[in-house]
Amino acid sequence: MEPRTYNMLFCGVGGQGVLKAAEICGLAALRAGYHVRKAEVHGMSQRGGSVESHLRFGAEVFSPLIPAGQADFVVSFDRIEGAKFQDALKPGGVHFNRYLPLLRKHGIDPRFENTFFLGVLSRFLPLAREVWLAALAQGFARAPDENRRIFLLGAETDLGDGT
Amino acid sequence: MNTHSHSEKLLLSGDEAVARGAWEAGVRVAAAYPGTPSTEILEALAPLPEVDAQWSVNEKVAYEVAYGAAIGGVRALTACKHVGLNVAMDPLMTSAYTGINAGFVVVVADDPGLHSSQNEQDTRWVGLYGKLPILEPSDPAEALEFTKLAFELSEQFDTPVLLRLTTRVAHSKQDVAVGMRVAGPHKAFRVDAAKYVMVPRHAGPRHAVVEARLAQLRDHAEQTPLNRVELRGRQLGFVTSGVSYLYVRELFPDASVLKLGFSYPFCDDKIRAFAAQVQALVVVEELDPFIETHLRALGLPLRAKHPSFQVGELRPEFIPAIVRGEEKQVKPFPARKPVLCPGCAHRAVFTVLRDLKLVVAGDIGCYTLGASPPLASVHTCLCMGSGFTIHEGFRRAHVHGDRVVGVLGDSTFVHSGITGLINAVYNRVKGVLLILDNGTTAMTGAQHHPATGKTIREEPTQKLVLEDLCRACGADHVDVVDAMDTGLFRRTLEQRLQDDALSVIIARSPCWQLVRTRHAPPEFRREQCQQCYECLEIDCPALSKAADGMIQIDPARCTGCNLCVDRCAYEALLPLRAEPDADSCPGTCG
Ligand SMILES: Cc1ncc(C[n+]2csc(CCOP(=O)(O)OP(=O)(O)O)c2C)c(N)n1
Ligand code: SF4
Ligand code: SF4
């Protein structure tokens, strides 16, 4: 287990599966034996407002919120929402606004965008493939095969930035 | 919540952890009215067979039911949001006098930062005011542990115990080690009028008991490991509680901390001893200066946050500025405004209210979203139930004549709108009161209430028929209309505004999130469009202006409700209704 803390800020608008994506990433980290903290705001998500969820895991994590400027990843499902979190990112962190075009390129159904981005995120995190797939199955009761296929697409496709 | 798993770790929210802790402590009765961020506590308890759980009519009712169960002999819990406790303040204050029999835990969730609330009140003052102990967990793991302990303390000191959460505790998740359930007490109620019948003759002596108990609780506060001294570097010594503790640990990992988990009454000796061991004492707390006020009264020199930090939630990155005594600096953070869902029947109603230029005494629910432009047709929002009573005040003020209506939702009507209707009838006020009946408590995520005819466990029960109730209350006219039928609704409303009567109109149509039916989107005919943008005035998120100035419909969001069709005078939007299509959602949404 790596001693450092990983900080992921998931953001988008209600209905995009932002909270679900963070939840599955958290379940995967939990399965891998990490200490996990997650913070989110419920309530307005269903009605199209901004949604954000902070997910952190490591050997020991205190704050459930990622302090400003310490996110390793901003996993944005919406360009405008993502742009608001530029300051959240740590120097050298990865902003998923750069991967938004991949969604269109691969023709990802909006309902599976979160699964695709989890696949992309999985390339950067020290969590084994089996752990991810188990968390995915736990998190999505429906359409298990399609979720798995799209996750693997995100995990293996050429990101076009040398990553 | 899987109650079979034990000695394993689950990813639980603070609310789920409270439910788990209560279950492990042997809780038998749990009652609540929904309210963000406390709602999920009862939702997690409801499926558990050992627990008799209910959605109550309101928080006062919930409090009294749970209190009754506790003095009736079993461990009981009630949960509410901060403003919900205001509704239950009457039983709360006197239950401090009677004490309990089996353990009684009152869970209250505050909402610093107003994520989903109408104010930022700080419930810790209720401990001081009501002379009740407060436990304040910092995270879900502590929420589970403290809930169990709260039941024990309740019985040990014969008192209701407040368990105070905030949004960042209730709605954050963490890996939590869970345990097994104990049976919990089963203690017969002993008739004891001096303890349970609060007439002046008994309440006087019971007040003395309360004061004596407070002194014992103070002693306990000195002993309990929940008030924990962590000595590290001595330059800075933080006194903190709740989620603020985690922010302090994150930002100042090498500083000493006195963590107050039992945050009222205060452990004065422990605080003084801690202060003596550090060079600078710093209080870090969210919202009001609760700890700070007490420490100042003790005469301790300290640093505390600039008053500007009393507004809004604390964030970890604020801690260094607080230590330096600086004013709060925040960059305005543009959040996308929430809007009524496409297909929401509230939109149809507010479109009519706006067109008729009425003054609208509103209330709290999804329909409060009708306050923002371009609908802008909710003009007051104070507290639950006030839509009808504020309407009455407007009528009595005689400034706006009869161009006023009162509006509230079905769950809100049952919660505290009924009394306002009866008051209007009794005091002979005229006017029009609207109940927006979407068949659920939508705002907090679709909970049942008496008028849905189902219990918290989805079991059928006697259904409260709103129109019968309104007639029984004595309203002169009670009309029930389909909320989506804007023509009929408008005609009915105009008629009732003219009548010299007290009328109730129930605008009924299910919350779109419950039915999720989709029809084909209307057809947009470019050649007909005069670019008047009248259709955009209904604020449907599926409808927008395209770059070329034309109207575009987002087929992924449009429900085919055809509300926009009626707005277009040029037939540029035409209904294209196919058979309803049940939404094929794969369950991927948040
Ligand atoms: C005293 C109090 N309890 C609970 C809440 C949380 N809350 C806000 S609105 C609401 C009820 C909304 O239901 P309804 O009136 O049916 O309107 P809808 O959201 O369905 O449109 C609740 C529970 C509150 N604000 N105040
Ligand atoms: S959840 Fe229901 S009541 Fe609330 S905005 Fe959506 S459709 Fe309307
Ligand atoms: S039919 Fe019109 S008003 Fe109804 S959801 Fe579609 S775009 Fe919105």
- Position B259 scores a pLDDT of 98
What is the average per-residue pLDDT within B76-90?
98
- pLDDT tens-digit map of B224-262: 999 999 999 999 999 999 999 999 999 999 999 999 999
Q: Do A44 and B173 touch (CB under 8 A)?
A: no
* CATH classification of the domain holding B208: 3.40.50.970
**Considering the domain boundaries, does residue A1 fall inside one?**
no
- Position B123 scores a pLDDT of 98
What is the average per-residue pLDDT within A59-87?
95
- Position A160 scores a pLDDT of 84
Chain B CB contacts of A81 below 8 Å: 336
For B114, residues 6+ apart whose C-beta sits below 8 A from its C-beta are B120, B312
* CATH classification of the domain holding A47: 3.40.920.10
Residue B5 has pLDDT above 80, yes or no: no
Nearest C-alpha to atom 2 of ligand 1 is from which residue? B84
**Considering the domain boundaries, does residue B583 fall inside one?**
no
Determine the Cα–Cα distance for residues A131 and A34; give it in Å rounded to an integer. 12
b/e sequence B63-94, b meaning 16+ C-beta within 10 Å: bbbbbebbbebbbbbbbbbbbbbbbbeebbee
> Looking at per-residue confidence, does B277 or B338 come out higher?
B277
- For residue A44, what is the nearest residue in chain B, using CA coordinates? B338
Determine the Cα–Cα distance for residues B15 and B140; give it in Å rounded to an integer. 8
Determine the Cα–Cα distance for residues B38 and B17; give it in Å rounded to an integer. 12
Residue B589 has pLDDT above 80, yes or no: no
**Considering the domain boundaries, does residue B338 fall inside one?**
no
Q: How far is CA A17 from the centre of its chain?
A: 10
- Position B1 scores a pLDDT of 58
Q: For residue B64, which amino acid is it? A: E
Structure tokens at B542: 């599926």
- Position B7 scores a pLDDT of 58
Q: How are beta strands B172-177 and A35-40 bridged, if at all?
A: antiparallel
Instruction: Answer whether B440 contacts ligand 1 (Cβ < 6 A).
Output: yes
What is the tally of structural domains in chain A? Answer: 1
- Say whether both B288 and B267 belong to one domain: yes
- Position B337 scores a pLDDT of 80
- Position B230 scores a pLDDT of 98
Instruction: Answer whether B451 contacts ligand 1 (Cβ < 6 A).
Output: no
**Considering the domain boundaries, does residue B468 fall inside one?**
yes
- Position B548 scores a pLDDT of 94
> Across the beta sheet with B431-437, what order do the strands follow?
B359-361, B404-409, B431-437, B502-508, B477-482
Supply the pTM of this predicted model: 0.95
| Contact present, B589 and B516 (Cβ < 8 Å) | no
Q: Do B587 and A141 touch (CB under 8 A)?
A: yes
For a mutational test of ligand 3's pocket, the pick from B540, B551, B573, B576, i.e. the residue with the most ligand atoms closer than 8 A to its C-beta, is B540
- Say whether both B65 and B13 belong to one domain: yes
Instruction: Answer whether B416 contacts ligand 1 (Cβ < 6 A).
Output: no
- Say whether both B480 and B531 belong to one domain: no
Burial of B158 (0-12, 13-18, 19+ CB in 10 A): middle
- Say whether both B254 and B212 belong to one domain: no
**Considering the domain boundaries, does residue A102 fall inside one?**
yes
Task: Scan for tokens 């002979």, then name that residue.
Answer: B428
Q: How are beta strands B262-264 and B134-135 bridged, if at all?
A: antiparallel
| Contact present, B36 and B117 (Cβ < 8 Å) | yes
- Say whether both B360 and B493 belong to one domain: yes
**Considering the domain boundaries, does residue A89 fall inside one?**
yes
**Considering the domain boundaries, does residue A18 fall inside one?**
yes
Burial of B138 (0-12, 13-18, 19+ CB in 10 A): buried
What is the average per-residue pLDDT within B377-389?
98
- Say whether both B396 and B491 belong to one domain: yes
**Considering the domain boundaries, does residue A161 fall inside one?**
no
- Position B576 scores a pLDDT of 82
Please give the backbone phi and psi of residue B410, each rounded to the nearest 5 degrees, phi first. Answer: -65, -45
- Position A13 scores a pLDDT of 87
Q: Please give the DSSP secondary-structure letter assigned to residue A143.
A: -
- Say whether both B104 and B232 belong to one domain: no
Query: Residue B100, Cβ neighbours under 10 Å: how many?
Result: 22
Residue B519 has pLDDT above 90, yes or no: yes
Burial of B128 (0-12, 13-18, 19+ CB in 10 A): middle
* CATH classification of the domain holding B560: 3.30.70.20
Determine the Cα–Cα distance for residues B64 and B62; give it in Å rounded to an integer. 5
- Say whether both B248 and B312 belong to one domain: yes
Structure confidence at residue B588 as a pLDDT band (50, 70, 90): very low
Residue B472 has pLDDT above 60, yes or no: yes
Nearest C-alpha to atom 5 of ligand 2 is from which residue? B340
Residue B583 has pLDDT above 70, yes or no: no
Q: How are beta strands A35-40 and A50-58 bridged, if at all?
A: antiparallel
**Considering the domain boundaries, does residue B336 fall inside one?**
no
Angle at which helices A18-31 and A113-122 cross, to 10°: 40
- Position B585 scores a pLDDT of 37
| Contact present, B212 and B220 (Cβ < 8 Å) | no
**Considering the domain boundaries, does residue B339 fall inside one?**
no
- Say whether both B440 and B368 belong to one domain: yes
Determine the Cα–Cα distance for residues B561 and B516; give it in Å rounded to an integer. 11
What is the tally of structural domains in chain B? Answer: 4
Q: How far is CA B134 from the centre of its chain?
A: 19
Structure confidence at residue A64 as a pLDDT band (50, 70, 90): very high
As a whole number, the mean pLDDT across chain B is: 95
Write the DSSP assignment of B93-133 as a string of letters.
Answer: HHHHHH--SS-EEEEEEE-TT-SS-S----THHHHHHHT--
Residue A143 has pLDDT above 60, yes or no: yes
- Say whether both B216 and B85 belong to one domain: yes
Please give the distance, rounded to the nearest whole angstrom, from the Cα atom of residue B571 to the centre of ligand 3. Answer: 15
Residue B580 has pLDDT above 90, yes or no: no
Q: Please give the DSSP secondary-structure letter assigned to residue B416.
A: I
Q: What number of CA atoms fall less than 13 Å from residue B313's CA on the CB side?
A: 20
Q: Angle CA(B31)–CA(B33)–CA(B37) in degrees, nearest 5?
A: 110
Residue A118 has pLDDT above 80, yes or no: yes
- pLDDT tens-digit map of A3-46: 799 999 999 988 889 999 999 999 999 999 999 999 987 655 45
- pLDDT tens-digit map of B127-174: 999 999 999 999 999 999 999 999 999 999 999 999 999 999 999 999
**Considering the domain boundaries, does residue B589 fall inside one?**
no
**Considering the domain boundaries, does residue A47 fall inside one?**
yes
Q: Do A143 and B590 touch (CB under 8 A)?
A: no
- Position B577 scores a pLDDT of 63
**Considering the domain boundaries, does residue B590 fall inside one?**
no
What is the average per-residue pLDDT within B433-459?
97
**Considering the domain boundaries, does residue A74 fall inside one?**
yes
Structure confidence at residue B330 as a pLDDT band (50, 70, 90): confident
Structure confidence at residue B450 as a pLDDT band (50, 70, 90): very high
- Position B578 scores a pLDDT of 52
Among B291, B323, B355, identify where a domain stops.
B323
- Say whether both B78 and B159 belong to one domain: yes
**Considering the domain boundaries, does residue A30 fall inside one?**
yes
- Position B2 scores a pLDDT of 59
Structural domain boundaries, residue B188: 9-223
> B67: part of which helix (H) or strand (E)?
helix B59-71
> Looking at per-residue confidence, does A58 or B589 come out higher?
A58
- pLDDT tens-digit map of B22-56: 999 999 999 999 999 999 999 999 999 999 999 99
Write the DSSP assignment of A24-74 as a string of letters.
Answer: HHHHHHHHTT-EEEEEE--SSGGGT-EEEEEEEEESS---SSPPTT-EEEE
Interface of A with B in 31-60 (CB under 8 A): 34-51
Structural domain boundaries, residue A52: 6-156
- Position B378 scores a pLDDT of 97
Give ipTM to 2 decimals. Answer: 0.94
